[in-house]
Structure 1
Amino acid sequence: MQAQSTKSISDFYVIGINYRKTDAAIRGNFAVNADQYSEILTKAGDFALDELFVLSTCNRTEMYGFAGCADQMIALLCTVTAGDISTFKDLAYIKNGQEAVEHVYSVAAGLDSQILGDYEIVGQLKNAVKHAREKGFIGSFLERVVNSALQASKCIKNQTQISGGTVSVSFAAIQYIKEFYQSILGKKILLLGTGKIGRNTCKNLIDYLDTQDITLINRTQEKADILAKELGLTSAPLTELKENIEAAEIILVATNSPKPTILKSHLENTGDKLIIDLSIPYNVEATAAELENVQLVNVDELSKLKDETLQKREAEVPRAKTIIAEHIEELMEWYALRKHVPFLKSLKTRLKSIHSCNLYLQAAHGYIPAETEDDRIQKVINGMALKMRQQNQYGCQYLEALNDYMEYSKAN
């Protein structure tokens, strides 16, 4: 599937649900894993969609793309996920046109993150777009919007303190552990899942808890082995999950399995456990919280942690929004110019064909050097593009361009 190159901003939509109106359990029904993402792109044509990408994280599931109406995108998402259309519409937000564009920037900058300024979203956004691009679903408009949003995000990170300190979902897990235990000396830690969030969590465990008594388990064992070797930790195969659950006192789960990986039965009569589930959908069976020996925490509870760092970040929001506005203005200038591309191409063709016109040949006789023809035509095109962008008006532009061309010819 190759995305169309010319799109109208009025047909650009964002549909999604996030932490603001839904809890993690509901978001889990609409979460999109790698296989489901591929299925969405495969089925997109059945819903008359050819340019889109999906962003699915622990605190949001969103689809960005071009459509005749938002219902096409909602139907596609709900066809592939466990959620239903009625529930999605009750809890979703739908943004269109420039409002949808502004949302892309807000997400990329971490302004819409569950923990303000959490820049893990940048890597997640890049991966989401990369997957869609590989399948031919990213056209020139989406490419430009995402690149501009990422540039704005980088400027915000460099020019403000909105990402200052160390606050993210993975770091919030460390904060929780520090508050729960006076000391973790001698406590065994099990980390299940070594994807991006798992890796970040693992490094935070080492850096901020000063421990290496950590065992890594991943569905693909090789990934766990590589990370364990890199950080001087221990890894174990998934087949030894139960034994490692029994041995650990702190368990962190960062997997993307559609069903719980850790069950209540795994935890019965195994001693006191602190379990932090960073996964969406949940990868720890909810009934595990009923056990007296288990303290189960999920991403929504972690996001409620507040500290001075977050307060400082809040103060930086106005500056971040100013930077976003500057980048959006540049984007809209580019978009306005693109609307004139068909006309400018037609104009260029007509100017090149003018040399077959006898009236023109008579008028231009004696002062048109052939070797500068392309340069003069391009001068006219550039000048006309600038006028159209600045004046934003149409009219007798062919005649104006012809007059310009003749003037350039006389000058040469």
Structure 2
Amino acid sequence: MQLYVIGVNHTTAPVQIRENVAFNSEHLGSALRELTSHDATEAAILSTCNRTELYCSAENSDKPLQWLSHYHKLDTSSIQPYIYTLPNDEAVKHAFRVASGLDSMVLGEAQILGQFKQSVKIAQDAGTLGTLLHKLFQRTFEVAKEVRTNTDIGANSISMSAAAVKLAQRIFGDISQQKVLFIGAGEMIELCADHFAAQKPKSMMVANRTLERGTALAEKISSQGIKAQAILLNDLPDRFAEFDIVITSTASQLPIVGLGMVESAIKARRHRPIFMVDLAVPRDIEAEVAQLDDVFLYTVDDLAQVVTDGMASRQEAAVDAEVIVTARVENFMQWMKKRDTVPTIKALRDQAELTRQAELEKALKLIQKGESAEKVLEALSNALTNKFLHAPSHALNQAHGDEHAKLEDVIKQLYHIKS
């Protein structure tokens, strides 16, 4: 079995492709069990707005890729140009870099580590982690901690949430007079709410599938002295026109904000602009909305330019981080190689044990017949010595030329024989 990472990310595929292979976290467990039932022996799936990656142990990469296509009802050829397949040491290095924030759209961002850990927990709960992936992820999180402890990779890092605020300020200037709508109530929306709340907007609203979770976030916002309420997603069409700024990030597989809803809102607002950021993959807002006048719609890919602030210092830190990653990859590959020799070592020990037991039985029978202990021990030691040395001696006698010289060196190394 080989270790593979198979996936797409923000550097290889646009959001239009990434949303087609994204996984809903609620369905990850069943998807993993399906993957490991036929196409892989171990698996975990990391699916965020910027990437979807399969981490798996499999005979080859073809079956997991075919499974990914089949699961999402896609033709493999339609996603193949965007897919990267990383085997063994490349897969290990990729995992270390992703968790350390070295492969993120925002270099050094910390949120990916929490997302990675959550994905591993889901795989563990689903029972799809074995010795190899368990060890890989254990080392991955250790490396991420080492990188963040010993480098400044996270310094001067601007998050996607902060980037959304900066873009809003470019449109409205001071956003203290704007009304903000958050669609969803997950981790990303909560981070965005904190950043927008710091700007003291006129009001903030949370629209969520369940009122309970939306209300909890609204209450948290209100505790910062800002007027905040919660509504259900079903109430959006009637309330959408009220808001100047819309930030959305849900796990919905279908768009929540359609073209018709926004067109109606623009008309009701008498063409006052609406600033919208869609942080979801798959997207929450229909792509056609971007074509409307008076609408400023940004996706996660559109935020790339904003998040480059402070990049220079983080790139310097990234050099040091890459050194750490490279060293740790080498350590992990040594562990993998040792793991591959376990069956051979076991077979060697089993064979030696069978030989020992056979000679021991002969010795016990001789003692039972009255032979002296000294004579029996002498015979036992000679027999064991001859049996254990027969295979290497025979192989050395049969070898010729370069093969003989190489085998002789190996035997000297194994038995610590000095020339």
TM normalised by structure 2 equals 0.79
CA contact (8 A) 1:190 1:244 kept: no
Q: Equivalent of 2:260, from 265, 269, 274?
A: 265
Equivalent residue of 1:134, what SS? helix
Q: Quick one: which of 108, 132, 141 aligns to 2:132?
A: 141
Segment drifting more, 320-329 vs 350-359: 350-359
2:238 aligns with: 243
After superposition, residues 60-139 of structure 1 pair within 5 angstroms as 60-139=51-130
Q: In structure 1, what is the equivalent of residue 6 of structure 2? A: 15
CA distance change for structure 1 residues 359 and 340 in 2, over 3 Å: closer, same or farther?
farther
Return the alpha-carbon distance in structure 1 between the equivalents of residues 374 and 42 of structure 2. Answer: 49
| TM alignment of 1:225-244, pairs within 5 A | 225-232=215-222, 233-244=228-239
Distance 1:359 1:331, change over 3 A: farther
Is 1:29–1:82's contact at 8 Å kept on the other side of the alignment?
Answer: no
Contact 1:30–1:82 (8 Å) recurs in 2 = no
Offset of residue 71 of structure 1: 1.5
Show the counterpart of 1:331.
Answer: 332
Q: Is the 8 A contact 2:42 2:57 kept in 1?
A: yes
2:212 alignment counterpart: 222
Distance in 2, matches of 1:117 and 1:328, equals: 19
Give the 3 Å change call, closer, same or farther, for CA 52–93 of structure 1 in structure 2: same
Q: Which runs of 5+ in 1 are unaligned?
A: 1-7, 367-392, 402-412
Tell me, in whole angstroms, the C-alpha distance in 2 between the residues paired with 1:338 and 1:306.
42
**2:172 paired with 1:171:** no
- Helix, strand or coil for the counterpart of 1:236? strand
Give the C-alpha shift of residue 360 in structure 1: 8.2
Q: CA deviation at 1:178?
A: 2.2
Aligned counterpart, 2:290: 289
Amino acid at match of 1:290: Q
In the TM superposition, what whole-angstrom CA distance separates every residue of 1:29-53 from its partner, at most 9, and x where no partner exists?
1111124424422422553323111
For 1:253, which of 209, 232, 248 is the aligned residue?
248
CA distance in 1, matches of 2:75, 2:21: 8
Task: Give 3-state SS (helix, strand or coil) of 2:19's partner.
Answer: helix
8 A Cα contact 1:40 1:77, kept in partner: no
Taking the aligned partners of 1:33 and 1:44, their CA distance within structure 2 comes to: 15
Across the aligned residues of Structure 1 and Structure 2, the Cα RMSD in angstroms comes to 2.9
CA deviations 1:302-354 (Å, max 9, x no partner) are 01225541221111111001111232233233323333434555666656995
Q: Structure 2: how far apart are the matches of 1:174 and 1:344? A: 59
Contact residue 55 and residue 128 of structure 1 kept, 8 A: yes
Counterpart CA distance in 2 for 1:212 and 1:348 is 75
Structure 2 unaligned regions, length at least 5: 223-227, 365-372, 378-408
How far did residue 155 of structure 1 move? Answer: 1.4
TM-score, structure 1 normalization? 0.80
Q: Deviations over 1:378-399 (max 9, x none)?
A: xxxxxxxxxxxxxxx97699x9
Of 98-107 and 175-184, the range deviating more from structure 2: 175-184
